[in-house]
Amino acid sequence: MKRQVEHLEGEKFDLVVIGGGIFGACVAWDAVLRGMRVAVVERQDFGGQTSANCFKMVHGGIRYMQHADIVRIRESCHERRALLRIAPHLVQPLPIAIPTYGHGMNGKLLLAAGMWGYDLLTCDRNRGIADPGRHVPFGYFLSRDDILKSFPDLHGDGLTGAAVFHDAQMYSPARLVLAFIRSAVDRGVVACNYVEAGDLVVENGRVRGLNCRDLLCGESFTIHADAVINATGGYSESLFRRWFEPDRTGKRTYSRDACFVVDRRFESPMAIALMGQSRDSDAVLAREGRHLFISPWRDASLIGVWHKVHEGDPRDLQVEDREIETFIDEINGTYTGLDIRPDEVRLWHSGLLPFGDARDSGRELSYGKRSIFIDHGREHGIGGLVSVIGIRYTMGRGDAARAVDMLLAGQGKRTHRPATDRIAIHGGEVEVFEDLVTEIHRSDGLPSGGAVARALAHNHGSAYRGVLAHARNTPAMLQPITGTDVLGVEVLHAIRDEMAVNLADIVFRRTDLATAGHPGDEALRMAAVIAGRELGWNDGKVQEEIDGVMDCFPGFPRSSGRFPSDPLNAELTHEDSVL
């Protein structure tokens, strides 16, 4: 997967996809399988915005039981099943416990009815999933003693036990996006990150191309194409203002969804759902509050999600220190024995999604229900232009197909949808995940212990051999970077085969280095030296890259800047010097 901007300018395409998040990646994969010549441009890195900053959940639709929305339940279950089938290395079932109290709305009886109804509506949840380890079990209940064994500090007054259901969790949302992009590229798609979309080229009321700018070199160029699908989500509004008259764009509400990683890990592999302070005003039958979740995440916990209407620049998504303190107060108030401190927050995430509205100072919320599809031929008189503003990562594959259908219908064309719910994506040709872990563990040159093999299996799946091949002439690259389970060779692979162009791409979206927070100064230094040697960075550039990454962590001072005097000629064969 190479960054070849010259191919964007030099070829003619049937379709240009703007946006390299999960929706854009799935649009490209769907369209190329229909026989279209496709290009993808992303202003930053693939999956680097809302997709990477999501809560990592693949929702099977149980939340829609309280809305009595059977259609969304079935759609969500289908999409969860599809991802477990086509990317078993990156998606796995996650048990979630809901504590039960008393005999009313928070009691076992109501939850039992809801879970029984959900299990009935999703009885085909595991159809076509080969690996039994990726099957989603039916719901069950725990006794009071059992739930307290897993979460001993739960509020005990009135506690009767817990209901347990299963959704799924992504091992890495960014790598799942990348797997779709890589699959599309393998079929002929031209994809480039750090390319900004500009004005449309329109002739006689139809799209004929897209003006772009390469943000790495500053050069502008035109992609010639017969159609454009805008899949930039909440960032679409800036494009609409550029493309259309101001009074014809409409006004949409967006939510800044936020969550954070804390330095806390329970012994239990379960997530836990707790009552938050906000309510879903659209629910037909709702409990006292909307659930907040504490999920296992690497060696830490991921807590969220908080919603806030965002009316400013979509490029300026921030979570202020005072907001984090408010979030911590809410979760501590809900789980009184948790007692999280602000200094335990390793990392925060925020993304932009379509929203309904907020009432009562944000405590009563109307959440977005479905992705937004816009046929700009009908809305604005520009044929060959469709926008999809995605509502939820889980729906990326299915909603991408709907967007391509809409585009083709506007062109008077019709094709059969490809079976993207059954075709394994890059790395996904895995029958039994645990067998893959064992196979990788037996590879020559890898460290003893199973942690490295398991991480490789998750991140690269059946494509792991292509990663290890980069260490053929430098065996030291098969050693882990200090304090992590990430191999030096994964940094090389990210640059050579996955279009990583900076240290942030590598540590946040290509490897596990910083997916749970700061990996340590030495780990960042080692990754930067390997990357600098590969990309030709001097000492100043290496320091600049590390400083940029450090700015993403709360409460960390900048690195001291101790590096080899010449990183381009640094000795890589001595384990203590780099690995």
579 residues of the chain, pLDDT tens digit each: 999 999 999 899 999 999 999 999 999 999 999 999 999 999 999 999 999 999 999 999 998 888 889 999 999 999 999 999 999 999 999 999 999 998 777 788 888 999 999 999 999 999 999 999 999 999 999 999 999 999 998 888 889 999 999 999 999 999 999 999 999 999 999 999 999 999 999 999 999 999 999 999 999 999 999 999 999 998 998 899 899 987 666 678 888 899 999 999 888 999 999 987 655 545 545 545 578 999 999 999 999 999 888 887 777 788 888 888 999 999 998 888 889 999 999 999 988 888 765 554 455 555 567 899 999 999 999 999 999 999 999 999 999 999 999 999 999 998 899 999 999 999 999 999 999 999 999 998 898 788 999 999 999 999 999 999 999 989 999 999 999 999 999 999 999 999 999 999 999 999 999 999 999 999 999 999 999 999 999 999 999 999 999 999 886 543 333 333 333 333 333 333 333
Q: CA dist 427 to 178, 249, 460, 541, Å?
A: 11, 40, 6, 33
Q: Beta strand 254-262 with 38-42: parallel, antiparallel or unpaired?
A: unpaired
Q: How many alpha carbons lie under 13 Å from residue 162 in its C-beta half-sphere?
A: 25
Cα 213 to Cα 447: distance, rounded to the nearest angstrom: 44
The partner residues of 351 in beta bridges, in order of sequence, read 257
DSSP state letters, 398-425: HHHHHHHHHHHHHTT---PPP-TTTS--
Cα 137 to Cα 299: distance, rounded to the nearest angstrom: 25
What are φ and ψ of residue 300, in 5° steps? -135, -160
Q: For residues 522-554, b (16+ Cβ closer than 10 Å) or e, as one string? A: ebbbbbbbbbbbbbebeeebbbebbeebeeebb
Q: For residues 362-377, b (16+ Cβ closer than 10 Å) or e, as one string? A: eeebebbeebebbbbb
Token code pair at residue 325: 């303190």
Q: Beta strand 372-375 with 291-297: parallel, antiparallel or unpaired?
A: unpaired
Token code pair at residue 159: 């506690």
